[in-house]
Chains A and B, each alone.
Chain A
Amino acid sequence: MKKAFCAFLALAIALALTGCSGLTIFSNYRHLENIELVRTVTADMEGEGVNVSVYGTAGEQSEARMYERSGPSIGVAMGKLILMPLGREAILSHTEAMLIGEDLAKKSIRECLDYVERFSEMRLDTGVLVVRDGTARDLLAGLSGSDTPASDTIAGLGRNIAKVGEGYFFTAREIASSMADNGCALIQCVRGVKEEKLFEARGDLNLEPAGFAVLKDGAVCEYLTDEETLGAMLLLGKYKSRNMDLALPGAAVTVSVDLAKTDMEPVFDRDGRLTELRVRLSLRANVINVAGEADITDEAVRRQCERELTEIMTGAVRAAVRRSQELKIDYLDLEGVVRRSSPLKLEDMPGAWEDIFPGLPVTVEGSGVLARTYDIADPPEKSGKEDKNPWEKLTESLKGN
């Protein structure tokens, strides 16, 4: 009797394991055909409340869709959006980016970050962006084309933005950590640009990076220029590469700056006062193309290029530091740099960092090296020299020696 009862109990439990009824023990199980995989979330101000939209697909083959809802808070709006209007249940576990409209970002992004941190489906590595000159919702809608899903466009920019030196997609983790540690942070801005449609299947807008914005007390308070953004990337170690034109007399040399290393050294006087912060920038660039009359094999031309390159990059660093000091917001975490370099001296230093930082002399020096020109060293159409075969070149060289 006991065995029969146990067998019956086991069978009854097995019924609940199927997931086919309300009896199921898998309370959060969702059928694949009933879910909408969200990749992008937007948040904008709407009156006193928040408008949120999600963008995702029902599966690999399904066309991307966008849904929106409004509510007094992001939590309420997202709650409605996830469960109510779709006919499917939105899954946020694969959200790659959260776009926040400028108005909401200027009010505060804390609510958005808080939602990302608390909601168990979302990840702290979600990229958080501020949308300038428009709402995040309109940007997402404008980016969407039948052959160019908005999420792919945003993800593509996220992957490559640092490689073109125009910014960096900070994640919710990086922003929250910086805000917790320093009380401020940087955040990447983007904007939608209306351009001629080169093919019908693309969206109405194109996505462009729009520099960094400065977050103070959880809200966007200032925007950095392109030069300041580049300088901030260099100082924060977020720089990967960038193509830039170097102007020479009668020519322009385009180089790819593929290495930029920053070393910072605080200088203290005998009384323990911080008197200066020295920034040393080491750069390496490669020639991409040459326009006009310039012989890149000429040592003097290369030195000129290197001077020009160093000037541009050190100028960007100076601009970023100057703006930070003007705003009295240490978003470059220079205090952290000094702390890591001279922790005891910083602790013993008379005066508070907040008071010293705005007036701290920051010296920026740099050295650039033009490393290679790839396969073409001295094309005749650029230098104006006649082409010689390798044997002639070798003979001339030997004679010269």
Chain B
Amino acid sequence: MGKTDRITERQLKVLIFVSLLSPMIRILPASAVLFAGRAAWLSTALALPAGAALVAFTRWARKNAPEDMGLADMAVAGLGPVLGRIFDVLCALWLTFYGGFIARSAAERLLATVYPNGNTPIFIIVMLAVALFTASGLTKTLSRTAEILMPILAAVIAVALLSALPDVSAAHLLPVTYRDIKDIAYGALPIFDVMAAFAYFLFLSGHVRRPKSQRPNRFPWLIMLAAVAFGVTFFTLGTLGEKLAVSMENAFFMVIRNIKVLGVVERVEAVVVTIWIVTDFIFLAAVLMIVAEIWKTVTGVKKRAVFVLPSAALSGAAAFLIAGNAFAFQRWSDFIIPAINILFAVILIPAALTVGKLRRRY
């Protein structure tokens, strides 16, 4: 790893938080409510320990790895040069496709919320072009951008959610009994699914300056992400009710469309959509950067930036081809993408780390 492109552990965590905000807001509350009904607002309480366990496991697995070794290098070291590279290529292909999904998802949302008669291609192309330039740059530039944006994003989300409080009805949230625990656990799955996507950022861990002493396991980014998940589910469900919330593709946005901040400012949805797009852009740029990082390990080429343009082009193709219309795209968003995400982030990546650990390769 180049010594100039180093970030702190905190910067990586901020980058993960900002990136995962976008899918978290996209899937909630509908995905959780679908399983847990009106008790979905409690699902985050079960998703958080599961997410923390996964983070703690990956942290333990990487504990003795050299500082400049990212997940792609660890896979090669742990699984062997052939199997490790196959694993890396699979991850790169999936993340290239996932990048396309993120771009298309952002475009579809813009059409559904602000530009009803617009076309997705222009939004996809602009997003990919902007992300392309950012991903071609340094990891620390992207992390710093996320670091600057984080307080703004957190403040806007907090103000938007708190402004929705007067519309929240207890009748939409209660009752919840012990019989709902199974449903609450099922509802935690989609939230955990998004949290688990932090695993992709392990490919950038080779850029992280390791602290001199090992710190205890603390995951403030995960707790903040869980707080957002809880807030979005609680306020949307409390405002719209179970069945209406499930029937809407962007239920959270429908709630935002109604709010008045302190009874003075109305129609703040443009601000919320803008920050939502910013998180999409950060996530997309990070994914393209990760893909380029993987190809760099696989091919041995020293300059990461050369892989960004082809990756962006392939992601663009995926964005156009993924689904013919918004209905088909919704199916991808609800079922196929989360399933593949679980496969990679919860099964394959931890498995690769475990094998390397058992073989004492790091």
- What is A's interface to B at a CB cutoff of 8 Å? 27-28, 93-94, 117, 119-120, 123-125, 173, 176-177, 180-181, 333, 336, 339-340, 343-344, 347
* 10 chain-A/chain-B pairs, Cβ below 8 angstroms: A28-B115, A93-B267, A120-B114, A124-B258, A173-B240, A336-B171, A340-B171, A340-B175, A343-B175, A344-B179
A180 contacts B114, C-beta separation under 8 Å: no
A180 contacts B244, C-beta separation under 8 Å: yes
Q: A28 — which chain B residues lie within 8 A by C-beta? A: 114-115
Q: B181 — which chain A residues lie within 8 A by C-beta? A: none
A173 contacts B177, C-beta separation under 8 Å: no
B241 contacts A180, C-beta separation under 8 Å: yes
Q: B258 — which chain A residues lie within 8 A by C-beta? A: 123-125, 173
Min CB distance, B257 to chain A, in Å? 5
Whether a CB of chain A sits under 8 angstroms from the CB of B280 is: no
B residues 103-155 near A (Cβ < 8 Å) are 112-116, 118
A180 contacts B239, C-beta separation under 8 Å: no
B266's nearest neighbour on chain A, judged by CB, is A94
Q: A123 — which chain B residues lie within 8 A by C-beta? A: 257-258
Q: Mark B161-174, 1 if CB is under 8 A from A, else 0.
A: 00000010011101
Whether a CB of chain A sits under 8 angstroms from the CB of B243 is: yes
Q: B172 — which chain A residues lie within 8 A by C-beta? A: 177
**Known contacts A120-B116, A125-B258; is A343 also within 8 Å of B177 by CB?**
yes
Min CB distance, A158 to chain B, in Å? 15
Whether a CB of chain A sits under 8 angstroms from the CB of B247 is: yes
- Having A123-B258, A177-B244, A343-B177, one finds 19 other A-B pairs with CB under 8 Å, namely A27-B118, A28-B114, A28-B115, A93-B267, A117-B254, A119-B116, A120-B116, A123-B257, A124-B257, A177-B172, A177-B243, A180-B241, A180-B244, A180-B247, A181-B241, A181-B243, A339-B175, A340-B170, A340-B175
Min CB distance, B37 to chain A, in Å? 11
Q: B118 — which chain A residues lie within 8 A by C-beta? A: 27
Whether a CB of chain A sits under 8 angstroms from the CB of B242 is: yes
Min CB distance, A6 to chain B, in Å? 12
A119's nearest neighbour on chain B, judged by CB, is B116
Q: A339 — which chain B residues lie within 8 A by C-beta? A: 175
Min CB distance, B169 to chain A, in Å? 9
What CA separation (Å) do A340 and B169 show in the bound complex?
12
Q: A119 — which chain B residues lie within 8 A by C-beta? A: 116
What CA separation (Å) do A84 and B112 show in the bound complex?
23
Q: B167 — which chain A residues lie within 8 A by C-beta? A: 125, 173
What CA separation (Å) do A336 and B243 show in the bound complex?
14
B269's nearest neighbour on chain A, judged by CB, is A120
The 5 closest A-B pairs by CB, nearest first: A180-B243, A343-B175, A177-B241, A125-B258, A180-B244
Give the secondary structure class of A's interface: helix
- What is B's interface to A at a CB cutoff of 8 Å? 112-116, 118, 167, 170-172, 174-175, 177, 179, 239-244, 247-248, 254, 257-258, 266-267
Partner of A347, one of B116, B171, B179: B179
A120 contacts B112, C-beta separation under 8 Å: yes
Q: B248 — which chain A residues lie within 8 A by C-beta? A: 117
Q: B266 — which chain A residues lie within 8 A by C-beta? A: 94
What CA separation (Å) do A180 and B172 show in the bound complex?
12
What CA separation (Å) do A375 and B230 show in the bound complex?
50
What CA separation (Å) do A311 and B170 show in the bound complex?
30
What CA separation (Å) do A352 and B186 show in the bound complex?
27
What CA separation (Å) do A336 and B112 show in the bound complex?
33
What CA separation (Å) do A347 and B257 show in the bound complex?
36
Min CB distance, A328 to chain B, in Å? 21
**Known contacts A124-B257, A180-B241; is A344 also within 8 Å of B247 by CB?**
no
Q: A27 — which chain B residues lie within 8 A by C-beta? A: 115, 118
Q: B244 — which chain A residues lie within 8 A by C-beta? A: 173, 176-177, 180-181
B258's nearest neighbour on chain A, judged by CB, is A125
A346's nearest neighbour on chain B, judged by CB, is B175
What CA separation (Å) do A93 and B116 show in the bound complex?
14
What CA separation (Å) do A336 and B170 show in the bound complex?
11
Q: B113 — which chain A residues lie within 8 A by C-beta? A: 120
**Known contacts A123-B258, A124-B257, A336-B171; is A344 also within 8 Å of B242 by CB?**
no
Min CB distance, A98 to chain B, in Å? 15
B119's nearest neighbour on chain A, judged by CB, is A27
B171 contacts A333, C-beta separation under 8 Å: yes
What CA separation (Å) do A356 and B168 show in the bound complex?
30
Min CB distance, B117 to chain A, in Å? 9
Q: A333 — which chain B residues lie within 8 A by C-beta? A: 171
Min CB distance, B125 to chain A, in Å? 13
A173 contacts B116, C-beta separation under 8 Å: no
Min CB distance, A163 to chain B, in Å? 17
Q: B247 — which chain A residues lie within 8 A by C-beta? A: 180
What CA separation (Å) do A399 and B266 show in the bound complex?
64
Q: A117 — which chain B residues lie within 8 A by C-beta? A: 248, 254
Q: B179 — which chain A residues lie within 8 A by C-beta? A: 344, 347
B241 contacts A340, C-beta separation under 8 Å: no
Q: A181 — which chain B residues lie within 8 A by C-beta? A: 241-244
A180's nearest neighbour on chain B, judged by CB, is B243
B240's nearest neighbour on chain A, judged by CB, is A177
Most buried by A among B240, B242, B248: B240
B112's nearest neighbour on chain A, judged by CB, is A120
What CA separation (Å) do A27 and B257 show in the bound complex?
21
What CA separation (Å) do A354 and B258 show in the bound complex?
34
What CA separation (Å) do A399 and B114 show in the bound complex?
78
